[in-house]
Amino acid sequence: MNPMDAEQTTFLRELVSGTPWFGECRGFARTLRRAPRSPGGLLLVGTPEEEPWHLAAHLDTEAGLANLPQLAPTLIRHQIPDGAPPHLAVPLARLEQARKGEAVFIVAPDDPGTPLLERVDDARRRGAAILTLAEDEETSSELLTLSHDALLVPENGIVPGFDAAQHLLASTAGEGEGRKGGRGSGPRLGFRDRLTALIDQVSGGSADTYR
- Residue at 53 is within a domain: yes
| Spatial contact of 93 and 110, defined as CB atoms under 8 Å apart | no
Name the domain count of the chain.
1
CATH number at residue 184: 3.40.50.10490
For residue 164, what are the domain limits?
3-202
Q: How far apart are CA 174 and CA 208, in angstroms?
A: 23
- Residue at 211 is within a domain: no
Would you give per-residue pLDDT tens digits along the chain (211 residues)? 444 466 777 878 888 888 899 999 999 999 999 999 999 999 999 999 999 999 999 999 999 999 999 999 999 999 999 999 998 999 999 999 999 999 999 999 999 999 999 999 999 999 999 999 999 888 899 999 999 999 999 888 788 889 989 989 999 998 855 444 444 433 333 444 444 444 454 444 434 334 4
Closest CA to 103 of 153, 140, 68: 68
Q: How far apart are CA 60 and CA 69, in angstroms?
A: 8
Q: How far apart are CA 52 and CA 72, in angstroms?
A: 13
Q: How far apart are CA 171 and CA 42, in angstroms?
A: 16
